[in-house]
Structure 1
């Protein structure tokens, strides 16, 4: 299905945007001038018990265009079980505001997706005498190079063989690291580099602001020793575009009722992403 392509240029400042620097947000707070990373409580937090009435509110700083620094995140309170860090980018992924922003949801329970992963990570660790599944998987993919999009000393970006989305990518730590807080300064810089390389390739692939949902999976904030030690830091990118900036993939019919089907192989996807590195396409138009 064809949809309108994302705009090539975004305004540096939109007076109607509740996330732009200096603007007033939905609940009345004034944003700072963003001289560094800014963290604020979601004006309409999805996991808050008492919700304020929602009023609909009717810019290029995306990951692909930035030099990034990955910041460590610690638990806000020991009563919480899990912290889900994620970003939705683009209207195709339900993002109503073009201003790039991420979110952190902290819950008292372990969500379904990370829980399923953790179950398998623990099973592998028990059966393989303490080995870590994603560390072994990263080693295997690095040796084959068939599905690798980008790698540096600490991280591997790969189109996993089980991927559902056409250009799905997983960023995985090469060494066994449980969570962001396990990374040193050099590793954090390497993670930032890897994220920039992946998202720049996304934008270059179809020369558009490439939409996606991206989320970090890491150790629970609270859990058993086995759960914590079996966890392995990784990041999922789920992008919907299929053949161009205006044609996306939909999971419908057979895929919803039976099982997902690949439109291109992970090897083909990885090769296309590998080959569109280099300078961001928008920079060439300036």
Structure 2
């Protein structure tokens, strides 16, 4: 049973401890306070409307001064010690979520203009949070113990529900960036959560496709559910199957390494998962990440992106939660860069064959909790 305990940092940002037992959570009542005396938080950045594409662009110049790859003894995500105060006042912790000191969106909440035009600007409303997966300085989600990973899953679910209820939020996005090649600025195992005041472009495209498919099926089937069924029937790109989650390389993968992790039951977001589904998610996800790192002799950089349903009511029945894990690594010593076609036109050209990538992942490590497909 995961218990969360909320407190405030010295500049007013919320910090939440997630503990795996009520006994541990009880001790948080006497946890040290943040005594750093931080200056007042800066105001929101700006959201600018791009009339050429219909997209909102966040301008967050204050992020230029954010911490960049500090040494271990200066890591802001490690627990505080008597000689050094970090972002986390406690001397130890399991999982912690706190408001980002250098947010792309927020800290204020509100509604963006309903009918923007060229030249429209507004505060970049929303909220950005950091999720510290563990108190240890090195690692990533894949290096967590099953018990700790399960607590992170509960934290994602709790924050998804809480952020979804906030004023003006239209999309909640949980993600992990792993590796310097992805642009990670802190080596401590962590992820982030963005609560957007708009539906981001890629999510909007997927939501529209999902809604059209759902209506065409007389609201009997979701698009992601149909893709899962097709992949399980074919088997060519399947990697592993658990009781409630399955992982496969998508038929039209964009990236050299791309995997989708999909629940067998229709759920809109992480908050809707039952306890047994969260247990299976933890096991299958750790299995999958072990296979990703088993492909090469060095850890593979990746972005693990939880695609959750937008909060607009018209999209939620049609949109199924799923993870999209992508990596630009196309060989042991080669990365794919988004060049002309991808960056300028959004037209992806993949350097690998999805069926071969799936076969490589199936063979990468021995069977773990999931059912490995031969």
State the TM-score, normalized to the length of structure 2. 0.64
> For 2:364 and 2:231, how far apart are their aligned partners in 1?
20
Choose which of 303, 309, 331 in structure 2 pairs with 1:213.
Answer: 303
Structural mapping, 1:180-219, within 5 Å: 180-219=270-309
Structure 2, unmatched stretches of 5+, are: 1-70, 109-123, 125-136, 369-374
Question: Which residue of structure 2 lines up, in the alignment, with residue 65 of structure 1?
Answer: 143
> For 1:23 and 1:247, how far apart are their aligned partners in 2?
40
Matched position secondary structure for 1:208: coil
Aligned residues of 1:63 and 1:195 also touching (Cα < 8 A): no
Moved more, 111-120 or 60-69: 60-69
Question: Which residue of structure 2 lines up, in the alignment, with residue 169 of structure 1?
Answer: 259
Q: What CA RMSD, in Å, does the superposition of the two structures yield over aligned residues?
A: 2.4
Q: CA deviation at 1:33?
A: 4.0
> For 1:200 and 1:88, how far apart are their aligned partners in 2?
16
Moved more, 86-95 or 70-79: 70-79
Aligned residues of 2:224 and 2:319 also touching (Cα < 8 A): no
Aligned residues of 1:27 and 1:43 also touching (Cα < 8 A): no
Aligned residues of 1:176 and 1:232 also touching (Cα < 8 A): yes
Larger Rg: 2
> For 1:23 and 1:48, how far apart are their aligned partners in 2?
29
Q: CA deviation at 1:189?
A: 0.9
Aligned residues of 1:15 and 1:23 also touching (Cα < 8 A): no
> For 2:86 and 2:352, how far apart are their aligned partners in 1?
47
Question: Which residue of structure 1 lines up, in the alignment, with residue 336 of structure 2?
Answer: 249
Choose which of 196, 201, 207 in structure 2 pairs with 1:107.
Answer: 196
Greater relative CO, 1 or 2 (CA 8 Å, sep 6+) = 1
Moved more, 180-189 or 71-80: 71-80
Question: Which residue of structure 2 lines up, in the alignment, with residue 10 of structure 1?
Answer: none
Q: CA deviation at 1:35?
A: 3.2
Aligned residues of 1:92 and 1:211 also touching (Cα < 8 A): yes
Question: Which residue of structure 1 lines up, in the alignment, with residue 98 of structure 2?
Answer: 40
Structural mapping, 1:1-286, within 5 Å: 14-22=72-80, 29-48=87-106, 59-66=137-144, 67=146, 68-69=149-150, 70-71=153-154, 72-73=157-158, 74-76=161-163, 77-79=165-167, 80-130=169-219, 131-220=221-310, 222-224=311-313, 226-244=314-332, 246-257=333-344, 259-278=347-366
Instruction: Pick closer, same or farther for the CA change 1:140–1:34 going to 2, 3 Å.
Output: farther
Q: CA deviation at 1:22?
A: 2.2
The CA deviation string for residues 38-82 of structure 1, in whole angstroms up to 9 with x for no partner, is: 11111111112689xxxxxxx433122222212123133331211
Q: CA deviation at 1:168?
A: 0.7
The CA deviation string for residues 61-120 of structure 1, in whole angstroms up to 9 with x for no partner, is: 312222221212313333121111111111000002211111111122111111111101
Matched position secondary structure for 1:229: coil
Q: CA deviation at 1:279?
A: 8.6
Structure 1, unmatched stretches of 5+, are: 1-12, 52-58, 281-286
Aligned residues: 257
The CA deviation string for residues 8-36 of structure 1, in whole angstroms up to 9 with x for no partner, is: xxxxx921211122269x99644434432
The CA deviation string for residues 181-227 of structure 1, in whole angstroms up to 9 with x for no partner, is: 2111110011111211111111111122211111111122x322x31
> For 2:107 and 2:327, how far apart are their aligned partners in 1?
31
